[in-house]
């Protein structure tokens, strides 16, 4: 009977180890499918780098060094992903879509509200235009809905607000077009009336975190159940 009991205990321990390994592998597999894609490595740029738009006779550069994970020119528009500038302590500033026609601009500051809960619904860009032309800017603000001109401010020079419909235009995808200005231009989104993505249900905003917690909860519960079954003393014949 003693040998039989020892054999049963050894078999139960082996089965317990196999089940724990299986549950752990399942948990890692689920986490792999629910985790976000790893970010790309940042690429450096300097203030002397020029980003040209040959078809529109336009170009731009940044006043400070910085990084981005990608910078692509498509449809006469430059798209900068995960942009940072050294004057902002290399803080990630967000994604910027910008096009320049018949002028050259130097960008001094930029911020997209999509990446922060602290400054939610506020984004801006400040640049210097060397000659009259046209700048088309999308700050990738924190909403998928069309905004209203009352939520925006465009100044040139600083403190002088330009008239929407005459000096600048707001498109349905929240792109701003600035016409014929030189010198310092600032485009700001104040977002007083924006129904941002933060109004989505809690489970939508935190779906990845909730999925991770669910997997961990299942793993712990399964391990506890298996351990309880192993500790139960088998019936004596």
182-209 tens-digit pLDDT:
999 999 998 654 444 444 454 444 444 4
Position 144 scores a pLDDT of: 84
Count the Cβ atoms, other than its own, within 10 Å of residue 87: 14
Helices and strands counted in the chain (H then E): 3, 14
pTM (two decimals):
0.65
Position 64 scores a pLDDT of: 96
Position 20 scores a pLDDT of: 56
For residue 2, with 0-12 CB atoms within 10 Å meaning exposed, 13-18 middle and 19 or more buried, which class applies? exposed
Residue segments in the chain with a per-residue pLDDT below the cut of 50: 23, 25-37, 117, 193-200, 202-213, 215-216, 218, 220, 230, 235-237
């Amino acid at each position: 009977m003693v040998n039989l009991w020892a054999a049963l205990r050894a078999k139960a321990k082996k089965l317990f180890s196999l089940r724990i390994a299986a549950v752990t592998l399942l948990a890692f597999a689920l986490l792999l499918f629910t985790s976000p894609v790893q970010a790309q490595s940042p690429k450096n740029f300097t203030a002397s780098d020029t980003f040209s738009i040959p078809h529109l006779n336009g170009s731009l550069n940044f006043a400070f060094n910085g990084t981005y994970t990608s910078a692509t020119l498509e449809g006469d528009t430059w798209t900068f992903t995960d942009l940072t500038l050294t004057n902002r302590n290399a803080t990630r500033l967000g994604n910027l879509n910008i096009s320049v026609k018949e002028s050259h601009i130097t960008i001094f500051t930029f911020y997209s509200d999509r990446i922060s809960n602290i400054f939610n619904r506020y984004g801006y860009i400040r640049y210097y235009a060397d000659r009259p032309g046209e700048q088309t800017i999308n700050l990738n603000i924190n909403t998928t809905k069309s905004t209203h001109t009352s939520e925006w401010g465009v100044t040139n020079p600083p403190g002088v607000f330009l008239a929407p419909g005459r000096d600048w235009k707001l498109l349905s995808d929240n792109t701003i077009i600035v016409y014929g200005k030189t010198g310092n231009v600032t485009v700001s989104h104040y977002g007083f009336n924006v129904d941002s993505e933060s109004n989505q249900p809690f489970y939508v905003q935190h779906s990845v975190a909730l999925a991770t917690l669910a997997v961990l909860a299942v793993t712990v519960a399964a391990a506890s159940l298996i351990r309880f079954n192993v500790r139960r003393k088998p019936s004596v014949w």
